[in-house]
Structure formats: structure tokens, C-alpha cells
Amino acid sequence: MTKASRWLDAFERFGNKLPDPSALFVLLTLAAIGASALLSGTPCGMRDARTGEELVVLDQFTFEGLIALGTNLVRNFAAFPPLGLVLVAMLGLGVADHSGFISTSLRGLLGLTPRKLLSPIVIAAGILSHSAVDAGFVLVIPLGALVFAAAGRHPLAGLAAGFAGVSGGFSANPVPSSLDALVQGITQSAAAIVDPARAVNPLCNWWFNGSATVFVLLAGWWITDKIVEPRARRVPVDGTGESLALGRLSESERSGLWLGHGMLAVLSVALVWLCARPDSALRGADGSLTAQDAPLMQLIVPLLFLAGLVSGIAFGWRAGRYRSHRDVMVGFTKSMEGMASYLVMAFFAAQFIAVFLQSNLGALVATRGAQALRALELSPQLTVFGVIAISAGVNLLIGSCSAKWALLAPVLVPMGMQLGLSPELVQGAYRIGDSTTNIITPLMPYFPLVVTYCQRHCKSCGIGTLAALMLPYSLIFLTLWSALLVFFWQLGIPLGPGAPYTYP
């Protein structure tokens, strides 16, 4: 056994000794309440980058604070960011799964895909899913496990490959998305602190992050086949999750696939036609389809729901598996039954995140880290690596890309500009750190959902098992992505349109 393998074993044992994920969030909530009480009377000596006012930790261990937590208990749960997305998407996908459309499509796909190429295909699907907001979490990751299992490979390896593509390579995408505009808007505001006339292009990191796609894909392929799958084989597949029965498709199944995919094609053509119109209601105020305010971006999950519902009903009717609307209702119900454990975890995770943010502990951690980096007075090159390290570290506690950048950008971007670093370069460094540690922290909002996916196939899988599987992806992606930034920088290759490396 290699030293790296022993270290991963120790990491896994430590993670699995943590309490049940739901209980862990209960303990973290109590810890956040206690920390807020201890720090509430201590002067921070910092200003909140979002408001410009003095940063104050708000005591949550008071009568008023506890009453507020109690009165907002339901609201915190209902407003938990992934909750609505996951449940709505799973309703539609549940019908497609219950009818057999998804499993039959995968069986057909396996007949065309070499077993050795499953890893890069799953990772590529995860990367491309970034254009569909967070749909990859509820589609690509569980399907990656199914595809691997059907091909005789370990389902956890397929799940890990999907998770790495969806979340570990979060900013790696050859296709611009609403995230580019969202992050750019925060960068623009932060740059205005030093230079109000400084403009930042929304696609200022496009070429760099598009190139990172190749590194994430190739590195993820090697990690999956050489590191993760050998480790995963030690975990027994004893879950009650669904599986794919391989074999020739029946005539009714083939007919159902033609109809199901035909309906998807009709929906796709209709969507493209609607999007192509210059006056389309799906465009944002600036006419863009990928702007944050574009209705198309807000419709991704409803469209996913509709696609699953229509294709599932079409396949089920043609294949003889759906004979009335009652069969469709059973599909809806079955999809929610499988989400029970996730709902419990989501409830307690929502309470922790609410306390952590409302107490300003999250703002304190981010601002303190950014100011510590400034105080070191490093060279421009080391400052960029410091931005990556700060971003990766804060990412372990605060999952939202925009929330972190709203806290960090007003400190890091002006600091970089004063050192001669462009806002585009600082933003590019931030997005590396923001992307690569998502997959190893239980505090990432979707992490409990991925643990649930794991346990469908392997009952013994816990937080430590998943984190240990994902750690090689995190470390190698972080190293290679940082090296790619240095490569671009040294050769003077633009990070994107209108994106210099220096300021002014």
C-alpha cells in the first residue's frame, strides 16, 4: 500500500467518524450559535465589504436570536437554495426513470460506448451541464453511477466522475453561462473602488476557463481510472438503488425510445426557435440569452422537469408501461420517496447556513482571510496564488460562488490593482479556488444530496468515503488549473476578450 493510499485511508476513517450528516449540521448550528456569542463583544476592526459598515458579529445566543431562528425555521428550509431545484427536477426525471425511459436509453448508449471511454464521457457531461445552472447535480451524478454499474464497473467511480465534472470543474466550461455575468458584475463594482471608469468584460475569463475544460477532462479521466475506481472497489455494492439490466432491447422499447427522443427533439427545436427570435421573451434586458436576468436561465429547471415528464410519458405509453394517468402519478410519488433522507439533511443544513450567515461569521472568515493576504505584501505572482488559496479555503465554509466573491472581491480586486494586477486576473484566480474544493466539503449545499446518491448503491458509504474519493480530484485539479494560469500568464495568452494581466 502506497503512502498516498494510507493517507487517503486515514482521511476516509476520519470523515466516516463524523456524525450522520443530519446530526453533523445540528452540531455545526450549535457551534455557530456558540461562536457568535463568544465573538459578539469582540471588536473586529474590519468593515463589511458588502455594506461599507463596521463588521460586527451578531450574537445568536440571545432570546431574540433564538426566537428569530424559531420563527424562520420553515422559511430557512423552504429558501434553502438547492431544495426547490432538486425536488422539481426530480419530479420530472422521476417519471422518466419510473417509465424506464432513462434506463432504456442508457442501455442503448452502452451498446455504442466503449467501456473504457465511460469516464471521459461522464466527466464531459458534467462539465457541459454547467450551462444548465445546477441541473448536473440531479442528472449527471446519479446517471454516472448507473452507467458505470451497468457496464460492470463500480457505481461510486461513475458517481465520482460525474461529481468531479459537475462541481470539481465548476468554472471550466467552453460555453458561456450566467455565472460569467454574475461574477463579472461583482468584479466590476470592486474595480470601481480604485478606478470608476474601469470596465470588465463579462467573458473576461472565457478562453482560460474553456481551456481548463481539457485539463479537467483528461486529468479527471486518469484520476477516475487509476486512483478512484481501485479505491471504490473496496466498498461493497449492497444498496437498494436502481440498476440497469443489460441485453437486447425489445421492439416496444425501441419504439418507445424513438417516440421519447422524438418528443425531446420537438421540444428542443421549439426552444431553439423561440430563443433565435430577436424579440424573444426568453432574452434578458440586454438581449442576451445567458444574462443572469434572462428568463431562459430561470427556466432551466422547469424545462428539465418538462423534458423528463414528456419523454417519460411518451416512452411509457408506447412501451406499454403507462396505461393511465395513475401510472404517471406513481412515478411522481416514487421519485419523492427516494428523496426522504435528503430532505432531512437539507432541513438541518438550511438552519446552519442561516445562522452562519446571519451571525456574520461567514463575512468575518472571508474578510479576515483577505486582509491577512494583503498584510503579507507578497509579490504579484505570490499574491495570485494567495488569492487561489484564500478562495479555496473560504470555499470549504461558504458554498455560494457569488456570496463568496461579494465578500472577497472588494478587498482582493482593489489590492490586486494596487499591485499592478488586472481585475480579470484576480477574478480568474478566484474562480480556480472557488471550483476545486467544492467536492470535499460537507458544507457545500449539494454534498448531502451526493451522499444520498452514494448510499443508494453502497449502504456503508459516508461523508468520509465520498470525501476521500473526491480528494485526489480536488488536489490535482487545483494544481493543474493553477499551473495553467501561470502558463497563460507567462506566454501572454489573454484570459478572455478584453482581459489584460496588468493594471493599468
Q: Quick one: which H or E segment has residue 168?
A: none
What torsion do the CA atoms of 280, 281, 283, 285 make, to the nearest 10 degrees?
120
Each residue's pLDDT tens digit, 100-127: 887 677 666 656 777 788 899 889 888 8
Higher pLDDT pick, 420 / 16: 420
Each residue's pLDDT tens digit, 442-482: 878 788 889 988 988 888 888 888 989 999 999 999 999 99
Which pLDDT belongs to residue 49?
Answer: 58
- The predicted model gives 253-262 an average pLDDT of 90
Higher pLDDT pick, 355 / 428: 428
In this prediction, residue 198 has a pLDDT band, given cuts at 50, 70 and 90, of confident
Separation CA 252–CA 256 (nearest Å) = 6
Separation CA 257–CA 175 (nearest Å) = 29
Please state, as a whole number, how many other Cβ atoms lie within 10 Å of the Cβ of residue 5. Answer: 12
Each residue's pLDDT tens digit, 299-314: 877 887 898 899 999 9
Question: What DSSP line would sit under 277-298, residue for residue?
Answer: STT-TTS-TTS-SSSTT-HHHH
> Per mean pLDDT, which range of 114-123, 138-147, 204-213, 302-311 is the poorest?
138-147
What torsion do the CA atoms of 7, 9, 14, 20 make, to the nearest 10 degrees?
150
- Closest CA relative to residue 131, chosen from 212, 218, 210: 210
Per-residue pLDDT at 293 exceeds 70: no
- ω into 380 cis (within 30 of 0): no
Separation CA 93–CA 264 (nearest Å) = 13
Per-residue pLDDT at 141 exceeds 90: no
Higher pLDDT pick, 118 / 292: 118
- List, in sequence order, every beta strand (DSSP E) within 30-185: none
> Per mean pLDDT, which range of 156-165, 287-296, 340-349, 357-366 is the poorest?
287-296
Note whether 194 and 417 are within 8 A (CB).
Answer: yes
User: Considering the entire predicted model, what is its pTM?
Assistant: 0.72
Mean pLDDT value across the chain: 82
Which pLDDT belongs to residue 448?
Answer: 83
Separation CA 93–CA 141 (nearest Å) = 13
Which residues have C-beta within 8 Å of that of residue 230, sequence separation ≥ 6? none
In this prediction, residue 130 has a pLDDT band, given cuts at 50, 70 and 90, of low
Give the helix ranges, DSSP H, for 277-400: 295-298, 300-318, 325-337, 340-358, 361-376, 380-395
Region at 7 (left for phi over 0; alpha for psi -120 to 50; beta for the rest): alpha
Which pLDDT belongs to residue 15?
Answer: 61
Half-sphere exposure of 144 (CA within 13 A, CB side): 34
- Closest CA relative to residue 92, chosen from 336, 338, 322, 446: 336
> Per mean pLDDT, which range of 158-172, 187-201, 322-336 is the poorest?
187-201
Higher pLDDT pick, 318 / 250: 318
Which pLDDT belongs to residue 292?
Answer: 52
Higher pLDDT pick, 405 / 62: 62
Which pLDDT belongs to residue 67?
Answer: 92
